[in-house]
Copies of this chain bind each other. A is one copy, B any other.
């Protein structure tokens, strides 16, 4: 197996990104189970908690890098769980905004602590300077695609 990884895939940035991301997502999902969330639902909930007035599903799709149809499904799931609700946008009646409920804000706090603790394990070999470099490189990749 060592031998396999001396070969081209070990240099392939797409592969390395996907594998590291998959490992972190699995770890985080495991930590979020007890809060009834998976990573993508959690990300939507975090963003819905960031504003008092709510966020449009279009903005969620853009920030999260998901298809609008995926966002609709995630918001449906969070709504069914009582963690967010959709309200008409006062500035544009055709748009509805996603707003966190009081229960959603409580769960977001607990889930945030669990998610932050979970990510420490895959990040154990990176000090704070490494993490800052990684954030910056990942943000540049995202910028190039949008």
Question: Which A residues are closer than 8 A to B by beta carbons?
Answer: 1, 4-5, 7-25, 27-28, 39, 43, 46-47, 50-51, 55, 59, 62-66, 112, 115, 118-119, 121-126, 130-131, 133-135, 137-146
Contacts and interface: CB of A to CB of B under 8 A. Distances in A.
16 contacts: A1-B62, A7-B50, A9-B46, A10-B139, A11-B135, A12-B115, A12-B119, A13-B119, A16-B134, A16-B135, A121-B145, A122-B141, A122-B145, A124-B144, A126-B140, A126-B141
Nearest to A139: B16
Number of copies: 2
B14 A119 contact: yes
Contacts of A59: 1, 4
